[in-house]
Amino acid sequence: MSESVTRDRLRPAAETAIHDCMGLASGESCLVVTDDEREAIGETLVATLPGITPAAFETGLDADYDRIAAECRRLHDALADAETVRVTDDRGTDLTVEPGDREWRRDTGVVHEPGGMTNLPAGETFVSPAGADGRYVVDGTMPPVGRLDEPIAFEVEAGRVTSISDATVRETVEEAAAEVGDAAYNLAELGVGANHAVTDLVGSVLLDEKAGGTVHVAIGDDAGIGGDTEAPIHLDGVLTDPTLYADGERVELPA
């Protein structure tokens, strides 16, 4: 998921959607809803297109959604019962997350059932982990920087980010921490991209995090994706060439 909107900005959109059979929202940020707000929306079908760009229309939206849904299901089946999920790569990433009782979720782009919600472009299976330790190195896209020229390293202990190598990202998190404290450093999400149509990263994290073969890790708010931490940021960082393991067994990433 991408950078969240604040709750006071979300509620009017949710209230409006209650009265429609379908809601379509666009803007600079991702529409993230809490469980209570999801219940209030009821049977409305909701699709959000935050920060939509021509590149997203030309690539991420022009996709085989049955294929995306099948890949998301396959990933879900491989990950849903794992006690630990590990991500490694040649850049120094070695991060282990513990989902605990948190639910793995799928964003497939298919919203046929009453109450269905999705981001567009779609294509990921993700969780807000109960715990995390290790190190991850973002080499793809990371807000507020965009497409990276140099990798950014993050150290994680007991579910909190303790070190950020990039000054711009670090300052963004520190500004959020001045408002909400340690919640800003929460390891909020581990997601696996499953959109075959996203073949090149363009610097838009909403699109880039969906690329097949990538993993993304987020800092900050996870209240809308099964966690219990509220923060004014949700910063996803994309890893372009990871290896993924569920309880020690390698998980094949989507092409």
SS3 content of the chain, % helix, strand, coil (to 5): 25, 35, 40
Count CA within 13 A, CB hemisphere, residue 200: 4
Count CA within 13 A, CB hemisphere, residue 171: 5
Burial (CB count within 10 angstroms: exposed 0-12, middle 13-18, buried 19+), residue 133: middle
Asked if the peptide bond before residue 144 counts as cis, ω within 30 degrees of 0, the response is: yes
pLDDT at 70: 97
List C-alpha distances in Å: 70 to 74, 123, 168: 6, 10, 37
- The torsion angle over the Cα atoms of residues 213, 166, 223 and 253, rounded to 10 degrees, is 10
Distance CA 230, CA 216 (A): 19
Distance CA 172, CA 185 (A): 11
Domain boundaries, the chain: 55-251
Contacts of 118 by beta carbon, 8 Å cutoff, 6+ apart: 46, 47, 48, 107, 108, 109, 110, 111
Instruction: Tell which residue, 193, 189, 187, has the closest CA to residue 75.
Output: 193
3-state secondary structure of 89: coil
pLDDT at 4: 42
pLDDT digits (tens, 9 = 90+) for 224-252: 899 999 999 999 999 999 999 999 999 99
pLDDT at 57: 67
pLDDT digits (tens, 9 = 90+) for 41-59: 556 666 766 666 776 667 7
3-state secondary structure of 88: strand
Q: Tokens representing 56?
A: 């997203």
Low-confidence ranges of the chain (pLDDT < 70): 1-46, 48-52, 55-57, 112-117
